[in-house]
């Protein structure tokens, strides 16, 4: 019973509110889904942009790796050349020709140093670097570890960038020289001659590899991955790249270098392309369409349910809705002891109105009677049309005898009187029978029979006293 009462209260509310709430929920859910899908599209665009950035970095990496490998090959060439003079006293003139050729062939090489027994004896070009002559690498804390590693591993080692004795900062390629005393002598049996060093200019090396601070719209940085101090990890490029959501590739470089190539777009990752806007617009339109459809559907459901419980002509409750409410009040009466009254209203001689003036006028008369009845009841009361010209007024609560008589008189006066429509003047009269639950009947069906019987009894009495108050030309509905 409580569920039925709640359902009827809901349908007594304006159905537009329910439809509007459902429509708003549909639009909000659609907007949330659209935002999520838009974010997925945006993420995919960023991923696509990153894939393109990786491709660009791969080309840059290949150029840098190729340039550095070419430079190391030059370094290996000077080692082979130095080995020719291992059994002669060291003389700078013996190496000046190949050193000059290497400097001309590779602009990245800033200078070449030769250090027999780890003491720098020759440097090319001489004048800008003569301050380094006589440097004992064993006594230089910053350079000795790389040289010692090169001696022990007998491999080319690249270190730096380092601050040079003669000034400036550069990369150093260390080439240990182990001359063979006879053809085919194993490397591990050869005696150590000394170290050859190629000093590389960072900027020239990067320029030779086609690397600048910005390459194809990407801000570029080359960093040392194993640097103890992040502040000293930068080798080349835009240091601020490391503070962004950059993409990176490891560099496969000779000489033990552990570098990484990083890139970040100048304008950031692009996530607001045409596809994102299309997704947002289409998603928004779909959400709006679903919201409108939901509004129309709920409104239509409300209308259909309302029509199922309402009289289509007068808009009053119909017999089904009246019976439901009476059953609810009867169930409540069993618990509370409070009953209810019904007033059966029937228009007298209504058929004559339809026959004389037509059904359109008759319909207007019924609508007017319903309106008049509605003006005499409380909000908790129910006015229902249960037949062609039959109405029932349902009033919860037990009325006193005098109060009921007053209410009956008021209903009779308000439903009676002259009705005017399309030039017709109709004197309206109605017969009314009342009954109380549970005083007059123990069931809703019996209660209706009691009220109906009393209504017809009054109608019979009225027929005996019928009068044409307004003259013979004015038909009566009573």
Q: Look at residues 246, 271, 306 and tell me which one is the last residue of a structural domain.
A: 306
C-alpha span between 445 and 327 (Å, rounded): 10
**Domain-located, residue 2:** no
Does the pLDDT value for residue 34 go beyond 80?
no
**Domain-located, residue 3:** no
Band of pLDDT at residue 302, cut at 50, 70 and 90: low
Top-ranked range on mean pLDDT: pick from 91-105, 110-124, 157-171, 223-237: 110-124
C-alpha span between 68 and 64 (Å, rounded): 6
Judge if 234 and 343 occupy the same domain. Answer: no
Does the pLDDT value for residue 4 go beyond 80?
no
Tokens encoding 82: 């130095």
Judge if 460 and 337 occupy the same domain. Answer: yes
If you average pLDDT over every residue of the chain, what do you get?
A: 81
**Domain-located, residue 246:** yes
Q: Give percent of the chain above pLDDT 90.
A: 15
**Domain-located, residue 370:** yes
Judge if 260 and 151 occupy the same domain. Answer: yes
123: left (phi over 0), alpha (psi -120 to 50) or beta: beta
The pLDDT value recorded for residue 202 is 82
Judge if 42 and 159 occupy the same domain. Answer: yes
Judge if 286 and 186 occupy the same domain. Answer: yes
Judge if 415 and 447 occupy the same domain. Answer: yes
The pLDDT value recorded for residue 328 is 92
Stretch (H or E) spanning 43: helix 15-82
Tokens encoding 418: 């002259």
Judge if 291 and 433 occupy the same domain. Answer: no
pLDDT in tens, 177-186: 998 888 888 8
**Domain-located, residue 4:** no
C-alpha closest to that of 364 among 311, 431, 314: 314
| Size of the chain, expressed as the number of residues it contains | 478
The pLDDT value recorded for residue 478 is 40
| Distance from chain centroid for Cα 18 | 26
Q: For 42-56, 203-217, 282-296, 298-312, which range has the lowest pLDDT when averaged over its residues?
A: 298-312
C-alpha closest to that of 108 among 145, 69, 143: 69
Q: Look at residues 280, 306, 332 and tell me which one is the last residue of a structural domain.
A: 306
pLDDT in tens, 65-105: 888 888 888 878 888 888 777 777 777 777 788 888 888 88
Does the pLDDT value for residue 227 go beyond 50?
yes
**Domain-located, residue 51:** yes
Judge if 281 and 218 occupy the same domain. Answer: yes
C-alpha span between 382 and 370 (Å, rounded): 11
Judge if 262 and 370 occupy the same domain. Answer: no
C-alpha span between 31 and 263 (Å, rounded): 35
**Domain-located, residue 1:** no
Judge if 259 and 403 occupy the same domain. Answer: no
Judge if 93 and 60 occupy the same domain. Answer: yes
Does the pLDDT value for residue 213 go beyond 60?
yes
The more confident residue out of 428 and 391 is 391
CATH of the domain at 449: 3.30.70.270
Q: Judging by DSSP bridges, how do beta strands 476-477 and 424-428 pair with one another? A: parallel
- Domain residues for the domain of 42 are 14-306
Contact predicate 392/344, CB 8 Å: yes
pLDDT in tens, 230-281: 655 788 887 788 888 888 888 887 777 788 888 888 888 876 666 666 777 7
Judge if 46 and 187 occupy the same domain. Answer: yes
CATH of the domain at 275: 3.30.450.20
Count of structural domains within the chain: 2
Q: Look at residues 272, 306, 340 and tell me which one is the last residue of a structural domain.
A: 306
Cα first-last separation, the chain: 40
C-alpha span between 71 and 9 (Å, rounded): 90
The pLDDT value recorded for residue 18 is 74
Tokens encoding 315: 């808009």
Averaged over 121-130, what is the pLDDT? Answer: 86
**Domain-located, residue 82:** yes
Q: How far is CA 227 from CA 154, 259, 264, 371, in A?
A: 24, 10, 21, 92
């Amino acid at each position: 019973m409580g569920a039925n009462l709640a359902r009827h209260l809901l349908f007594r509310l304006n159905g537009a509110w329910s439809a509007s709430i459902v429509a708003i929920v549909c639009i909000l859910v659609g907007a949330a889904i659209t935002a999520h899908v838009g974010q997925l599209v945006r993420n995919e665009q960023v991923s696509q942009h990153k894939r393109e950035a990786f491709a660009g970095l791969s080309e840059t990496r290949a150029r840098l790796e190729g340039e550095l490998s070419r430079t190391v090959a030059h370094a290996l060439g000077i080692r082979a050349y130095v080995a020719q003079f291992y059994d002669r006293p060291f003389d700078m003139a013996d190496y000046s020709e190949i050193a000059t050729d290497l400097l001309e062939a590779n602009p990245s090489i800033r200078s070449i140093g030769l250090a027999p027994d780890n003491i720098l004896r020759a440097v090319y070009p001489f004048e800008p670097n003569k301050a380094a002559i006589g440097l004992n690498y064993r006594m230089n804390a910053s350079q000795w570890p790389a040289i010692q590693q090169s001696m022990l591993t007998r491999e080319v080692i690249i270190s730096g960038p380092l601050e040079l004795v003669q000034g400036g900062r550069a990369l150093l390629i260390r080439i240990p020289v182990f001359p063979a005393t006879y053809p085919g002598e194993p490397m591990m049996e050869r005696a150590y001659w000394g170290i050859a060093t190629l000093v590389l200019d960072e900027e020239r090396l990067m320029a030779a590899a086609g690397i600048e601070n910005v390459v194809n719209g990407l801000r570029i940085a080359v960093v040392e991955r194993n640097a103890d101090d992040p502040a000293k990890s930068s080798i080349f490029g835009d240091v601020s790249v490391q503070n962004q959501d950059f993409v990176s590739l490891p560099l496969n470089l000779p000489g033990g270098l552990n570098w990484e190539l990083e890139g970040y777009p100048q304008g950031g990752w692009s996530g607001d392309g045409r596809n994102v806007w299309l997704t947002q617009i289409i998603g928004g339109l779909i959400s709006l369409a679903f919201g409108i459809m939901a509004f129309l559907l709920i409104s239509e459901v409300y209308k259909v349910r309302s029509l199922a419980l309402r009289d289509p002509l007068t808009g009053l409750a119909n017999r089904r809705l009246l019976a439901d409410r009476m059953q609810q009040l009867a169930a409540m009466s069993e618990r509370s002891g409070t009953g209810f009254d019904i007033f059966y209203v029937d228009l007298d001689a209504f058929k004559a109105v339809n026959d004389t003036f037509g059904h359109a006028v008759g319909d207007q008369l019924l609508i007017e009677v319903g309106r008049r009845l509605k003006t005499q009841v409380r909000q908790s009361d129910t006015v229902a049309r249960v037949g062609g010209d039959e109405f029932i007024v349902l009033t919860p609560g037990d009325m006193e005898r005098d109060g009921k008589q007053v209410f009956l008189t008021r209903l009779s006066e308000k439903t009676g009187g002259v009705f005017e429509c399309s030039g017709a003047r109709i004197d309206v009269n109605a017969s009314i029978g009342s009954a109380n639950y549970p005083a007059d009947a123990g069931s809703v069906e019996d209660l209706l029979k009691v009220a109906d019987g009393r209504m017809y009894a009054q109608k019979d009495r009225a027929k005996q006293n019928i009068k044409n108050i307004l003259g013979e030309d004015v038909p009566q509905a009573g």
